Structure 1
């Protein structure tokens, strides 16, 4: 903050200079006026002395005129270049009073409308926190300074959860949802915090939050984990196993939480068997989709394209979101080429080829490198996403 206040002080000095310079100029003008008055007094004194000498007979009329003329020349020489005095309507006290009021008023306005707290927070966040408590205090000040920042609220809620403050976290996540909308991840975080804030007691409110989150995103991980915990606590071990298995499918292979999650599944399995139950077999996983596509350029277009033009090859659902499900990027120089499009090439985890029964293959040439618009395109007929036979795609039509 020191550099900020130094810069503000420098700007204030510049502003004050516009007020104080006229005051200093008026003082110099006053000195010049005083010197002119002194010269006039000396001239009058000289003339009076000459008149006395004339009356005493020391000077005749001609000498008297010559002496008076000499005194007048000296007066003119001393006062030459002195500007006429300017009369200020405001007077001298007004600029001085303004010079005092300007910094006071500026400081008051900044403290009321300014953002010194945000400047200080920016400086603080540029340095790593020394402890979790310090991080929490920073986030709390950030939320106070920016109450409409959903991002700041979200991180504060997550921090409260790590500090075992679920009641505070639930309130923060509720505010976040009100600001950012009812996004599945936020609903899951809110439900989880509310569950622990209520002493691990399930309620209709928590059920509604998890239902809404999973309806919008069936793979929302926080809701799946929470429903598994609630089912385990309620001795509904098969449901706990089912929820946690669904969660396991969403986690990366190297995710450290998989170990703890697998331990939970094992404990639920043991308790289910001990109570005389039998673990239901998990439904067979849907095989991953993989489409093999041979892409070539029509002969009549080879003279109309350039080797560096981008070629986008993608599959999209015939009935579903318009976004590509899987995509690859080549150049015209790479054609003809054979590529594979599969679940591993998904643009978004929830939009995999295997999740849609029917897709269409598209290959587009775009000189500007834009996947959504280009000059030439080739499209296939709709085909099943489970197709294993190699497909051929020819770029042969203007892109409209």
Structure 2
């Protein structure tokens, strides 16, 4: 923390220097203003200009260029202008060069005070303290998980409004089996961050296990509130899968777990859910998903419409993609080729998946989209060529069968 305040002080120095710099020029500016006022000859210059214009006006009258009435009118205008230019304006006495110097230190102190107060309110001082606590426990020869929890509990008393304290304490309590404290920490976090789906889902999950895997009214209310905001929330879907499995509804459990897998990035969690799906399939008396997935996919024959052949070069990229019908998952399988290889036949299976969370074996039907991209970009661009095919069945790959997709349209 000492280094932090030193850094803040260093950052404040340029601001304070800018505040002080005008004082160094105050004496020179004072002398310049005094000399200007002492040697001000603007009134004499205005009178001289008036005399020249009046003489010119009289000469015009003598030549007969203007009559007497016009002469009097113009002369009156000249006199009025002279009065306005030479009217006496009382100047305030010029103050000394040192006048007001006390204001600058006051402003400097105010800048420092406001900066410190603002940082304490909006800065991350509390998070730096948490980091220091973590490092202190790690470097302590007698450091332990219990010590870390104790130190974090101290910070929770000092920083009750810091969400990072409670987000750190919640998993610590859960991992050490202190479920009531875990619920309390999570509710504190929800009170700060708001009732957002990820936090509500974790609260529903922990209350579900505290109730010995029973979907109580309280848990159901949390589940409903979460799904109303995010129907694809994976933690809640996993919880519902467990409840369905415990009640013998294996098909429903498989459905919930598959939907959860599509939105989970943690490979360990995905592996656990896949194990659950395999067990549920065995209970149903069907072949496990891993075995079915092998050899499952689509054979696709891709061709380019003859009318579009001349619109793209042979080295333009071709993206052959399978997507789920609802459009909720990432691409299930992607194969990249070149226009020069068309027509061609490719196989879309799990080996062409972009991620283990979204594979073609997870769905029964898919939508095929083939796009030609001269720029080689994965996202569609105006001028790209494409073709698609809806509701293509997913199943065992047969060498003598292939879905036909013709590239016959231009993306606008």
Between the aligned partners of 2:312 and 2:153, the Cα distance in structure 1 is: 59
Distance 1:339 1:201, change over 3 A: closer
The one-character-per-residue Cα deviations of 1:208-241 (angstroms, maximum 9, x if unpaired) are 324665796678356636985x899xxx68689x
Alpha carbons 1:290, 1:386 under 8 Å: kept:
yes
Is 1:171 paired with 2:179? no
| Structure 1: distance between partners of 2:117 and 2:16 | 18
- Name the residue aligned to 1:378: 387
Residue number in structure 1 paired with 2:103: 98
Larger radius of gyration: 1
- 1-side partners of 2:110 and 2:338: how far apart? 64
Measured in 2, the distance between the counterparts of 1:223 and 1:262 equals 16
Moved more, 201-210 or 124-133: 124-133
Cα displacement (A) at 1:312: 1.5
The equivalent of 1:224 in structure 2 is 238
Q: How do residues 273-288 of structure 1 correspond to structure 2 at under 5 angstroms? A: 280-281=283-284, 284-285=287-288, 287-288=292-293
Instruction: Please state if 1:306 is matched with 2:321.
Output: no
1:80-101 Cα offsets, whole Å, 9 max, x none, are xxxxxx9974545543211220
Question: What is the total number of aligned residue pairs between the two structures?
Answer: 322
> Matches of 2:231 and 2:361 in 1, distance apart?
16
Q: Aligned to 1:371, what secondary structure does the other structure show?
A: coil
| 1:232-381 paired onto structure 2 within 5 Å | 250=261, 255=268, 280-281=283-284, 284-285=287-288, 287-288=292-293, 289-318=296-325, 321=328, 324-343=331-350, 345-346=352-353, 352-368=359-375, 369-373=377-381, 374-380=383-389
CA distance in 2, matches of 1:17, 1:176: 45
Give the whole-Å Cα distance in 2 for the aligned partners of 1:171 and 1:5. Answer: 38
Structure 1 segments unaligned to the other structure (5+ residues): 31-85, 267-278
> Does 2:403 match 1:399?
no
- The root-mean-square deviation of aligned C-alpha atoms, in Å, is 5.4
Q: TM-score, normalised by structure 2?
A: 0.57
Deviation at 1:12, TM superposition (A): 0.7
Is 1:225–1:244's contact at 8 Å kept on the other side of the alignment?
no
Q: Matches of residues 6-25 of structure 1 in structure 2 within 5 Å?
A: 6-23=10-27
Secondary structure of 1:365's counterpart equals strand
Alpha-carbon shift at residue 19 of structure 1 (Å): 3.1
Question: Alpha-carbon deviations, 1:330-352, whole Å to 9, x = none?
Answer: 33355444332234545576655
Q: Which runs of 5+ in 2 are unaligned?
A: 35-90, 138-144
Aligned residues of 1:318 and 1:382 also touching (Cα < 8 A): yes
Q: Is the 8 A contact 1:156 1:169 kept in 2?
A: yes
Output the TM-score relative to the length of structure 1: 0.58
Alpha-carbon distance in 2 for matches of 1:311, 1:138: 59
